[in-house]
Chain A
Amino acid sequence: MQGLIERAKELLADGTVAQVLGWRKGDMGYDPEPAYFKSEEELKDFVYDAFCGANLSKYMIEAAKLEGKTLVFLKPCDTYSFNQLIKEHRVDRDKTYIIGVGCQGTLKPEKIREAGIKGIETVTIDGDTLKFDTIYGAKEMPFADALLERCKVCKGKKHMVYDELIGAAEDEEAGPVGNRFEEVEKLEAMSPEERFAFWQEQLSKCIRCNACRNVCPACSCRKCVFDSNQYDTSQKANAATFEEQMFHIIRAFHVAGRCTDCGECSRVCPQGIPLHLLNRKFIKDIDSFYGEYQAGADTDSRGPLTNFTFEDVEPSIVQTRGGGH
């Protein structure tokens, strides 16, 4: 982390960048938040550890409007989002200085609480173990147990776009870990009634806070269609269960083929709805119907929904493929 701060100071000092986008220490040690740093002084609050789950690439849309270049720290996963935003002309690569940072997985503070660890004063990551000083004394738990759902599978430790790498993993070239479609497959194997019940329960928890929309790097519309009078769909509060379904189906559809599977939607959902399972379903379908496609792996390929082949499957496959997909 110190290396990141030193490098940021240098780049600020020599005028390469005008500001730094990173994470600032929170009050508790496990709640850092995205922040701009304009000076050496401000950088003393900079932090980078496994609690820095926030994907900073979406902030670069607004950063493009600032004076001068912005230094941004991107984890491997975040670089896919940034690439996708380049493809969509939403960020300015020329006004961006990217330092790729290593990542060993990001953590979910709720899981620590669920493990019964409370009154935390400091947190240290010691290899495979999380060590806590709490008001009740020292506690620890395995690192892996506090991982965010999205990080249990990992699409790889390689950065798709960067100006320099600091502290990147030694296994940079290592491929994906785990089967990211496992949960989707479980749902697919259920009966339609069970699936309906599952989603009904999940989506009815939605309070339409729009956190998923606001954090999602693919949901980067200046104005959301759900705030548009062109569809008569603009509403803020939920009035009937279907509206949540419609919102989430359309949201998932609008990011289909563009979603890099960064998992931010599920990370920020205050209701704990596994929203990434909607996106992963689209990704899985796209992979199986149209060939494997990873959004954000490049900046110039045609996305699956702006492309076609003459031999594409017919929509009737949904009826004919049978259970288990």
Chain B
Amino acid sequence: MQVENTEFRPKIVAFCCNWCSYAGADLAGSSRLAYPADVKIIRVPCSCRVNPMFILRAFQRGADGVILCGCHPGDCHYTTGNYYARRRMTLLFSMLDYLGVENGRTRVEWVSAAEGVKFSTTMNEFVAKIHELGENVRLEDLRCKG
């Protein structure tokens, strides 16, 4: 009889802005600062490009956690993008919380191009948090499983 591997391997989507956080992730890479392979990065020009629709879609398709990284407030390459992202995500996350979705599944972190260490630490923490929460069952579309 075949024993099924039940180890939880979370799916985590990280949206990173091109100018700070994606570069921060690159720096984490060139500094060989490890974080779990469960994290997959999607490059966007700015944190303000991330539509709540993208986040819900990730959950719908079975993601267990979604994190958005952008430049620190005040340092946005486009001056103001992350300020709008901050408001949008605050409200979206609060709404998901209100709908009873575990609030640890979503996170925003500001990571500069110079913060390779912070990028790696953040991802390690976030993956640990998702492990703690387990599989996302509340926000997924059952048809997307398997």
Taking Cβ atoms with an 8 Å cutoff, the residues of A that contact B are 184, 187-188, 192-200, 225, 231, 233, 239-243, 245-246, 249-250, 252-253, 256, 278, 281-282, 285-286, 289-290, 304-310, 312-319
* A239 adjacent to B143 (CB under 8 Å): yes
Q: Helix, strand, loop or mixed for chain B's interface?
A: helix
* A308 adjacent to B84 (CB under 8 Å): yes
* A305 adjacent to B142 (CB under 8 Å): no
- Which of A184, A249, A312 is the one whose CB lies under 8 Å from B56? A249
Assembled-state Cα–Cα distance A281/B97 (Å) = 11
- Which of A194, A197, A233, A281 is the one whose CB lies under 8 Å from B95? A281
* A245 adjacent to B107 (CB under 8 Å): no
* A305 adjacent to B91 (CB under 8 Å): yes
Beyond A286-B91, A308-B87, whether A198 also contacts B73 by CB under 8 A is no
* 4 cross-chain pairs, A with B, having the tightest CB-CB distances, nearest first: A196-B100, A195-B100, A308-B83, A242-B141
- Which of B56, B104, B141 is the one whose CB lies under 8 Å from A240? B141
27 CB < 8 A contacts A-B: A187-B98, A188-B98, A192-B102, A193-B100, A195-B100, A239-B143, A242-B139, A242-B141, A242-B142, A249-B52, A249-B92, A249-B99, A253-B92, A281-B94, A282-B91, A282-B95, A285-B91, A289-B91, A306-B84, A308-B83, A308-B84, A308-B87, A310-B73, A312-B86, A314-B86, A315-B106, A315-B107
Say whether B118 faces chain A, with CB atoms less than 8 Å apart: no
* A312 adjacent to B53 (CB under 8 Å): no
Closest residue of chain B to A243 (Cβ to Cβ) is B141
Assembled-state Cα–Cα distance A278/B88 (Å) = 15
* A308 adjacent to B56 (CB under 8 Å): no
Beyond A240-B143, A318-B103, whether A312 also contacts B87 by CB under 8 A is yes
- Which of A242, A310, A314 is the one whose CB lies under 8 Å from B90? A314
Nearest chain B CB to A206's CB is how many angstroms away?
14
Nearest chain B CB to A269's CB is how many angstroms away?
17
Say whether B89 faces chain A, with CB atoms less than 8 Å apart: yes
- Which of B84, B88, B95, B106 is the one whose CB lies under 8 Å from A249? B95
- Which of B59, B93, B140, B141 is the one whose CB lies under 8 Å from A318? B93
Say whether B134 faces chain A, with CB atoms less than 8 Å apart: no
- Which of B53, B89, B91 is the one whose CB lies under 8 Å from A250? B53
Nearest chain B CB to A180's CB is how many angstroms away?
16
Taking Cβ atoms with an 8 Å cutoff, the residues of B that contact A are 52-53, 56-57, 59-60, 73-74, 80, 83-84, 86-104, 106-108, 138-143
Nearest chain A CB to B48's CB is how many angstroms away?
10
Assembled-state Cα–Cα distance A325/B141 (Å) = 29
Assembled-state Cα–Cα distance A318/B95 (Å) = 9
Assembled-state Cα–Cα distance A204/B116 (Å) = 44
A239, A245, A290, A306: most-surrounded residue (chain B CB, <10 A): A245
* B91 adjacent to A192 (CB under 8 Å): no
Nearest chain A CB to B86's CB is how many angstroms away?
6
Nearest chain A CB to B66's CB is how many angstroms away?
12
* A316 adjacent to B107 (CB under 8 Å): yes
Beyond A305-B88, A313-B90, A314-B90, whether A196 also contacts B99 by CB under 8 A is yes
B93, B98, B142: most-surrounded residue (chain A CB, <10 A): B98
* B98 adjacent to A195 (CB under 8 Å): yes
Closest residue of chain A to B108 (Cβ to Cβ) is A315
* B91 adjacent to A246 (CB under 8 Å): no
- Further contacts, 16 of them, CB under 8 A, given A196-B138, A253-B91: A195-B99, A196-B99, A196-B101, A200-B100, A231-B53, A246-B56, A250-B52, A250-B56, A305-B88, A308-B80, A308-B87, A309-B83, A313-B90, A315-B106, A318-B93, A319-B103
> B106: which A residues are within 8 A, CB to CB?
315, 318
> A225: which B residues are within 8 A, CB to CB?
53
Assembled-state Cα–Cα distance A196/B90 (Å) = 19
Closest residue of chain B to A252 (Cβ to Cβ) is B95
